[in-house]
Chain A
Amino acid sequence: MSRHKLVKGLDLDEELNDFDGGVEDDYDDGVSAEDKEQLRQGLIRVREVIGENGDFTDKEIEDSLWHYYYDVDKTVNYLLSQKAGSQPKKSKKKKGDAVGTAAKDFFKDSPWLNIPKERCGEILIEPLYPRGRLLGGASKADGAPKSKLAALAAARKRKENLKPEDDQDAPSSVTLLDRLGAKPRARKPDPQFSSSSSDSQRTPAEQEKTTQARKYPARKSPSAEALPAEQLTEAPSNASEDLPSSGGDGELERTPAAAPSVFARTIFGPSAESHAPAHGSADSRMSKSLEYHTEFDFTVPSPDDVVIKAQSTKRPAQKPGKQPAPQANNDRSVNAIAHGVEEVAIEDVRVRRKNLDVLAEFGKLKAKNAANFVVIGHVDAGKSTLMGRLLYDLKVIDQRTLDRYRKEAERLGKGSFALAWVLDQGTEERNRGVTIDIAMNKFETETTSFTILDAPGHRDFIPNMIAGASQADFAVLVIDASTGNFESGLKGQTKEHALLVRSMGVQRIVVAVNKLDTVAWSQSRFDEITQQISAFLTTAGFQSKNLAFIPCAGLTGDNIVHKTTDPNASWYTGPPLISLLESSEPVARALEKPLRLTIDDIFRGGVQNPLSISGRLDAGTIQVGDTILVMPAKETATIKSIEVDSAPSDWAVAGQNLILHLSDIDPKYLKSGDVICPPSAPIPCLTSLTVKVLAFSHITPMHVEVLKGRLHAPGRVTKLLAELDKASGNVVKGKKPRLLKPGAVARVLLEMEEAVPLEQGGRVVLRAGGETVGAGLVE
């Protein structure tokens, strides 16, 4: 409302009597000493007039005085009428009549006196209800808002009072400013910190500026303009806390009244009072923002303010969890704010490590027994179909999906491949009807949670099979029992696979004699196969107690999950395949060793995780926020998040299949086969290594490919150092070997073209010309 109107509305009478300062243009000046003195005197006089029957607070009286420009009569009138609860409009009219008579008479012909009442400065006459805890939009119902002027006056007063304290705050504010300068983004997210930032801007120099600024009403400090809504939310709460104690006389200093209005703030810049320190827990802050509606007791906010306020109140309510827990006590220490700011800044930039004791966490977790098994066998032995059937019978795959596969497979003329498609998801794999890469799938029984690693049988994809087998705890060897196929398989990959899994440390093997339905469940065929295979496996180094044989048919599902109903198979009385799988014993994991993970795959995990890797944790533990080293690139990365078996987790331990979402690394440093390790215990990268090797075929000094998991690197056998005795492991006396025959054990020197991450005890496979020539142990 225009000040000039205000002036117009004044009774000249009063002006002459009481207002000795003349008409000041600069209303924005602070509460001068004169004003204070006048207020004080007015207060005393009002108190005298009211006497005992008024229990008004000093504040109220003062406000009223300010309203009426130190007109004691008016103030008294007003206050009394307030108290009586009479209708304000009426009293106003009466008052106007009573007081203004003399002047009216005197200035009868003055034009300004003929202004209709309603056009006069109505604002002054609105009733002032006892201070309630109402504010905001609700103010209409519960009490008339106090004028801005009143708010302004109060603000000034409080400002005066708070000056010393403010000065104390200043130095710490400077440091805070520095911090904010370093992390400017931290200012946005929380209203609390926004207000603190305004606080921080109040360096001593700037305080001076604001005082200067008062002389130029039009000048607005940008920060003040941007922040009022936030300040509004807090200032009242502050006031509410102070209120109870401010009832008595002479409590001027602590009289809280309202926080300055938006306008006042704009003019004066943020006052010391207006920024609430970060106190109270997140909950209390929330409740504050709720109380907001009941505490607002001055001007009706502008529509803008309402909107901003709504936003600002909503925000903390939405994510209370994110608030850092500040100090509970009510002190105004800026440190709390500073602390909060830091906290938020850190949260924005990087993942926090939770410093979990992963082993303890793992111990707490009473998880099911977990087992990974690799399905191996000659190409077209029915590995994928067998596993597809297993998943289907266990209801991991629903009927509809399978029907869809069946339809699609029939369209390609490969109707019998439908079950295999459960695992063979690749376009190429489906078109060609052959597994190319390891397929991973999970299923759970009552006791165990299994991970299937369905390996390709084709000889070209043995590197992929090795990658899968290196993650397995035990193996399922699938054998095609149909006439002719068993024999060709035995020559083919059946033996090679079995040897490979053995050389990679797999102890236990379940032999599924598949496709027995094609030979009418002939027991003699089963026995023949059992005999041959067990003889071979025993020589390959499997203990016979770790072997199990089962007749089954993957396509029809006999003896997979359910026992066969075929009358021809009645001779088999053992359990179905699933029971054999369940009887596997838990494997001890290398939890205490330093972290090792061979990268299986690098991919884009999604919009939020542009870089993800998968693999099985070979040893050690890992948790979110860990810094890891990628070898041989020697680049570090940070673990953004972890997925264990596709479920988010904060940590993981050896033996689990993980997806790690990484940050702070360029994807070009990652290759499948690289090893993730802790920076404190990096895996060595070798170009030359000694390997104790078991020859599968002839080994001479030659080119080989060295495989370990996904690691696939070219190298050379440069020297055959010594032949070893198979049983004792001692060096065989005599000359250096010039050729290793199949089955020989020897120590050889390998030279790699590039450095490869390998360490002692690592199990490697040597291949040359598409054949596995040996398997060895890095020494």
Chain B
Amino acid sequence: MRLIKQSIDRDGSGSITLLPEEDEDMWFSYNLIRPTDLLRASAVRRVTTESATGSTSSTRVHINLLISVEKLDFDTQSAQLHVSGRIVEETKYTKVGQYHTLDLELNRNFTLQKKEGWDSVARELVREACDPVKSADVWAVVMQEGLAHLAVLTGHRTVLRQKVEMTVPKKRGTGKQGDHDKALEKFFQITMDTLLRQLDLTDNKPILLASPGFTAQAFLKYLLETATRTGNKALLAQKSNFVVAHSASGYLHSLNEVLQTPEVLARLKDTKYARETKLMNEFMDLLYKDDGKAAYGPREVEQAVEKGAVGRGGGVLLISDSLFRAQDVAVRRRWVGLVDRVRETEGGEVRVLSSTHESGKQLEGLGGIAAMLTFPLECLDEDEEEEGILPNGNINGAKT
């Protein structure tokens, strides 16, 4: 993402013009743009004109529209962002109040104005998005016999690209081993075909193969053997990019474990997801110690912040970015306020975790928010029901 123009006043009003350059930027935009914001972007609109004789003709025109955002729709697979809302500025072709859905495109500027003002989280997000240091994408194949998940890990997202599921017969008595071996080979073949379809072999990205037992090793062996046999030079050239790791199962959430293995960490150090994973583990370890220095859940964390436990000297607030995607402005303000308070008043550290990474999902399991405290707090009151605090659709939508 490139920052084209920024004019933000001290009170947070003003606008920012951004140029998205890659898929990842769409994800940022999705997190950045909120309902009630004013968005100006180029659009293609079909205009129907009626002539004096009553015949109609419709033409497609390229125009710049300013809309007041009502709804956002993000397609994770193709990384497309559709923003719909009412037009607030009259043009030659449109009237105020008409609806339009803007499809944000790569390499086309858009200008964003916040009705509520630019808060710290939003500004932080812009800064992060425009950070020129690119984190490398990583492909991961998490598998077990008969089940494989192909995912791509980018800086801020884990995208499941494909799932391969197949029945592999178990071993049965003497002489019937053929069935199992044959089915396993078929499974490897399908997984490999799927991987090659998804993967662009020209860019040099690490490919993680993870499985319990020996499946991943066997798969790598199969990959290389097949590549040699069929003379697939492009694939053979990737040989050094393959990393075989251990995972507890073939389900995607085992990726968390994969990202902690030393050989993987060595390759992926200082990527956002590696950091987030590490952070999450630290928190879980702290929680398991059960000495009261770990808090999770919205109420509990808010109380801890109020009591000043998330402050200087080790206080860390972990918060999922999905909380900021709340449709309700008040809810968002609540979390932004909490972040601001920890960061500015208390002097603690704030980490916003991506909700699509496995570590983020783990955090969401804990309510989307957690904190490592500087001193133990035992009697946190949590009688209050915690239902409805999480924004609707986001967390649960991601899960199901």
- A residues with a Cβ closer than 8 A to B are 425-429, 432, 436-440, 458, 460-461, 463, 600-604, 614, 667, 670-672, 698, 700-703, 705, 712, 714, 716-718, 735-736, 738-739, 741, 751, 753, 767-771
Contact = CB atoms under 8 A, between A and B. Distances in A.
Contacts of A717: 365
A670 B247 CA distance: 26
Nearest to B297: A738
B362 A703 contact: yes
Contacts of B251: 705, 714
B383 interface: yes
Contact of A735 (B170, B366, B383): B383
A644 B317 CA distance: 59
Nearest to B247: A770
B361 A426 contact: no
B151 to A, nearest CB: 14
B201 interface: no
Interface string B243-258: 0001111011110110
Interface string B296-316: 110010000000000000000
B382 A738 contact: yes
Nearest to A460: B212
Contact of B169 (A602, A703, A736): A602
Contact of B290 (A428, A460, A739): A739
B177 A425 contact: yes
Contact of A671 (B167, B169, B213, B254): B167
A610 to B, nearest CB: 12
A122 B389 CA distance: 112
A463 to B, nearest CB: 7
B222 to A, nearest CB: 12
Contact of B249 (A463, A735, A741): A463
Contact of A701 (B181, B213, B252, B366): B366
Top 3 nearest A-B pairs by Cβ distance?
A: A770-B248, A603-B169, A460-B212
B173 interface: yes
Given A703-B365, A714-B251, A432 B399 contact: no
A425 B288 contact: no
A753 B167 CA distance: 19
A461 B212 contact: yes
A739 B171 CA distance: 40
Interface string B117-132: 0000000000000000
Nearest to B165: A671
B355 to A, nearest CB: 14
24 contacts: A429-B171, A432-B214, A436-B214, A460-B246, A461-B212, A604-B169, A667-B167, A672-B167, A672-B170, A700-B284, A702-B362, A702-B366, A705-B251, A714-B249, A716-B399, A736-B382, A738-B296, A738-B300, A738-B382, A751-B399, A767-B248, A770-B246, A770-B247, A771-B248
Contacts of B252: 714
Given A426-B180, A672-B167, A714-B251, 11 more contacts: A425-B174, A436-B214, A438-B170, A614-B172, A702-B365, A714-B249, A716-B365, A736-B382, A739-B290, A753-B399, A769-B256
Contacts of A426: 171, 177, 180
Interface string B172-185: 11100101110000
Interface in B137-176: 167, 169-174
A146 to B, nearest CB: 63
Contacts of A770: 212, 246-249, 254, 257
Contacts, number: 105
Contact of B257 (A667, A753, A769): A769
A778 to B, nearest CB: 20
B290 A436 contact: no
B365 A718 contact: yes
Contacts of B214: 428, 432, 436
Given A672-B167, A703-B362, A436 B399 contact: no
Contacts of A735: 382-383
B213 A461 contact: yes
A631 B297 CA distance: 36
Contacts of A428: 214, 218
Interface of B: 167, 169-174, 177, 179-181, 212-214, 218, 246-249, 251-254, 256-257, 284, 287-288, 290, 296-297, 300, 361-362, 365-367, 382-383, 399-400
Contacts of B213: 436, 458, 460-461
Contacts of A437: 170-171
Nearest to B294: A739
Contacts of B212: 460-461, 770
Nearest to B170: A601
Contacts of B171: 425-426, 429, 436-437, 439
A436 B171 CA distance: 10
Which of B174, B177, B247, B249 counts the most A-chain CB atoms under 10 A from its CB?
Answer: B249
Contacts of A436: 171, 213-214
A437 B177 CA distance: 12
Contacts of A429: 171
Contact of B288 (A440, A739, A751, A767): A739
B177 A701 contact: no
A714 B171 CA distance: 24
Nearest to A667: B167
Nearest to A432: B214
Contacts of A427: 177, 181
A703 B253 contact: yes
A767 B250 CA distance: 13
Nearest to B358: A703
Contacts of A753: 399-400
Given A428-B218, A735-B383, A741 B290 contact: yes
Contact of B287 (A604, A700, A751, A771): A700
Given A702-B362, A717-B365, A670 B290 contact: no
Contact of B179 (A603, A667, A701, A736): A603
Nearest to A604: B179
Given A603-B179, A753-B399, A701 B365 contact: yes
Contacts of A425: 171, 173-174, 177
A553 B153 CA distance: 50
Nearest to B146: A672
A768 B297 CA distance: 21
Contacts of B297: 738
B382 A698 contact: no
A716 B296 CA distance: 16
Contacts of B169: 601-604
Contacts of A703: 253, 361-362, 365
Contacts of B287: 698, 700, 739
A753 B160 CA distance: 15
Nearest to B288: A698
A426 B181 CA distance: 8
Contacts of A604: 169, 179
Contacts of A769: 248, 254, 256-257
Nearest to A428: B214
A332 B284 CA distance: 87
Contacts of B400: 753
Contacts of A600: 170
Contacts of B362: 702-703
B361 A705 contact: no
Contacts of A614: 172
A705 B181 contact: no
Given A712-B249, A714-B251, A670 B365 contact: no
B260 to A, nearest CB: 9
Contacts of B367: 701
A598 to B, nearest CB: 13
Contacts of A432: 214
A705 B257 CA distance: 14
A653 B247 CA distance: 38
B170 to A, nearest CB: 4
B325 to A, nearest CB: 20
Nearest to B260: A769
B187 to A, nearest CB: 13
